[in-house]
Amino acid sequence: MARTPPTKPRKNALQARSRATVDALVEATARILTRDGFEKASTNRIAEVAGVSVGSLYQYFPSKEALVAAVIERHNEEIMGIVRTALAEVADLPIDKAVRKLVTVAIEAHRINPKLHRVLAEQIPRTGQLKDVEAFNREIHTLVHTYLESRRKEMRKIDLDVATFICVSAIEAVTHNTVLHGAEMLSEKMVRTLVEETTRLVVGYLR
Amino acid sequence: MARTPPTKPRKNALQARSRATVDALVEATARILTRDGFEKASTNRIAEVAGVSVGSLYQYFPSKEALVAAVIERHNEEIMGIVRTALAEVADLPIDKAVRKLVTVAIEAHRINPKLHRVLAEQIPRTGQLKDVEAFNREIHTLVHTYLESRRKEMRKIDLDVATFICVSAIEAVTHNTVLHGAEMLSEKMVRTLVEETTRLVVGYLR
DNA sequence: ATATAATGCGAGCATACGCTCGCTTTTCCA
DNA sequence: TGGAAAAGCGAGCGTATGCTCGCATTATAT
């Protein structure tokens, strides 16, 4: 039997409905962030929206930042999953096919929840999650780098690190701007055009 | 004589030292934003750093947001000046020379005050300055569009709007990531490499 | 059935923040 | 030089927010 005295479980020991509580809290935080922005996300409001009391909230999250951090982590995990899958599927394809697929996936990933994406991007410096996000970026960098290495014969002579940086930046930027700036008024046709053009940009650069 | 009763001058009627006060307030806001972030920028603190009382602060700025907005405006004006000048200087140059110059200038503009740039980018949605920043973006878009139009013969057949969007996004992204992510550890050599590569990316795309 | 731990509750404390208001000091100019 | 307007001051108000704590409810195990 655990010797742990019935103190407040520092962080969590979720075995039953408490799991549901935690989920509800994270979900509520995400909803409020998306719909009303960071300022409106007070702990009282989060608890209220989650259908939970503030007391319970503080049993699982030591601070408001911890909640936002949890949302960020969940979101990043989701996106990383998509990216990893895409890069795996693409491993044996030639550069042009691969890039096209990656750009498509990138836009789709951003389209899941553009507003959340934006708010989170804003809050990352505040929550001290910068390190995690950098890790996240490094993983993408590594994955792309590895892919490019395996396709070196299709490319011109080039510093792979620099090339990776340029390609990832370019793709990220177009998807970002497409989804965030360009609002939601994105015809399917427009998306296809942008995918095509971005592919051309990157592929043209690599060889 | 003006019929205006000695009420509080809604916004300003700066003729003497009051100008200095306003400047000090904007400057203090910028400093705090850069060094400590948005949360720490309370009106009391801003006034204190500016060497001014809160009361005076509120004589010139109706709210905290107004202060941040002023900082954003000042910063945007500065950058737009740089960009306009660069684009003017570049008007008669062929695409490759022009792009190289633009990329160089873009990186330099970002390097003036990377941290302020970042914080402001985060706060723009909050201050309702989105419209102004969009105007700012539209101006850049228009300027680039015009330049590209004048150089059409050097380019492949291409939709100029799409091309402008792609080029601006790509350049913006590389500069952004270079200055923000890459911290300050930027050797001059690295900068040159990135300028070279970005130029290649964009020029290769356009023709 | 009862004891014990786990989970949930929400009024309320402490604090910090945006902002006002009545007053003093400085500047201007007739 | 005197008086009015402009500029500056800062204690303190109202409010909202993050968070605690003592207690109530529910689950688990014997």
The answer as to whether A193 is a domain residue is yes
Supply A194's token pair. 């942008």
Q: Could you tell me which chain B residue has the CA closest to the CA of A207?
A: B204
Same domain assignment for residues B138 and B49:
no
Question: Mean pLDDT of all residues in chain A?
Answer: 89
Where is average pLDDT lowest: B30-39, B121-130, B147-156? B121-130
**How high is the pLDDT of residue A182?**
59
Spatial distance between the Cα atoms of B137 and B89, rounded to a whole number of angstroms: 20
Kindly report the three-state secondary structure assignment for every residue of chain B.
Answer: CCCCCCCCCCCCCCCCHHHHHHHHHHHHHHHHHHHHCCCCCCHHHHHHHHCCCHHHHHHHCCCHHHHHHHHHHHHHHHHHHHHHHHHHHHCCCCHHHHHHHHHHHHHHHHHCCHHHHHHHHHHHHHHCCHHHHHHHHHHHHHHHHHHHHHCHHHCCCCCHHHHHHHHHHHHHHHHHHHHCCCCCCCCHHHHHHHHHHHHHHHHHHHC
Spatial distance between the Cα atoms of A168 and B68, rounded to a whole number of angstroms: 32
**Banded model confidence at residue B183, pLDDT cuts 50, 70, 90:** low
Quickly tell me which residue has 């390190």 as its tokens. A131
**Banded model confidence at residue A2, pLDDT cuts 50, 70, 90:** very low
Same domain assignment for residues B77 and B96:
yes
Same domain assignment for residues A89 and A184:
yes
Residue B6 has pLDDT above 50, yes or no: no
* Average pLDDT for B170-176: 94
* Average pLDDT for B140-148: 97
* Average pLDDT for A165-183: 87
- Alpha carbon of A134: minimum distance to chain B alpha carbons (Å): 8
**How high is the pLDDT of residue B86?**
97
Same domain assignment for residues A50 and A94:
no
Same domain assignment for residues B102 and B54:
no
Q: In CATH, what number is assigned to the domain containing residue A165?
A: 1.10.357.10
**How high is the pLDDT of residue A14?**
66
Domain coverage including residue B84: 65-206
**How high is the pLDDT of residue A170?**
97
> Which chain B residues contact residue A170 at CB under 8 A?
169-170, 173-174, 201
**How high is the pLDDT of residue A69?**
95
Same domain assignment for residues A123 and A29:
no
Residue B88 has pLDDT above 80, yes or no: yes
Same domain assignment for residues B86 and B52:
no
Same domain assignment for residues B38 and B102:
no
Q: In CATH, what number is assigned to the domain containing residue A44?
A: 1.10.10.60
Q: Which long-range contacts (CB under 8 A, 24 or more apart) does B68-71 make?
A: B68/B29, B68/B33, B68/B38, B68/B41, B68/B120, B68/B123, B68/B126, B68/B127, B69/B127, B69/B128, B69/B129, B70/B26, B70/B29, B71/B26, B71/B29, B71/B30, B71/B33, B71/B116, B71/B120
* Average pLDDT for A87-108: 96
**How high is the pLDDT of residue A6?**
41
Which of A110, A166, A179, A207 to substitute to test the interface with B, most B CBs within 10 Å?
A: A166
Scanning every strand, the nucleotide with its C1' closest to A8's CA turns out to be: C6
Selected residue with higher pLDDT from B112 and B182? B112
The answer as to whether A7 is a domain residue is no
* Average pLDDT for B99-113: 93
Spatial distance between the Cα atoms of B113 and B109, rounded to a whole number of angstroms: 8
* Average pLDDT for B68-75: 95
Same domain assignment for residues B76 and B141:
yes
Same domain assignment for residues A55 and A35:
yes
Q: How many CA atoms lie within 13 A of B106 on its CB side?
A: 25
Scanning every strand, the nucleotide with its C1' closest to B17's CA turns out to be: D7
**How high is the pLDDT of residue B7?**
40
**How high is the pLDDT of residue A17?**
83
**Banded model confidence at residue A131, pLDDT cuts 50, 70, 90:** confident
* Average pLDDT for A67-81: 95
> Is residue A35 within a helix (H) or strand (E), and if so which, with residue range?
helix A17-36
**How high is the pLDDT of residue B10?**
44
The answer as to whether B130 is a domain residue is yes
Same domain assignment for residues B124 and B43:
no
Same domain assignment for residues A49 and A116:
no
The answer as to whether A197 is a domain residue is yes
> What size, in residues, is chain A?
207
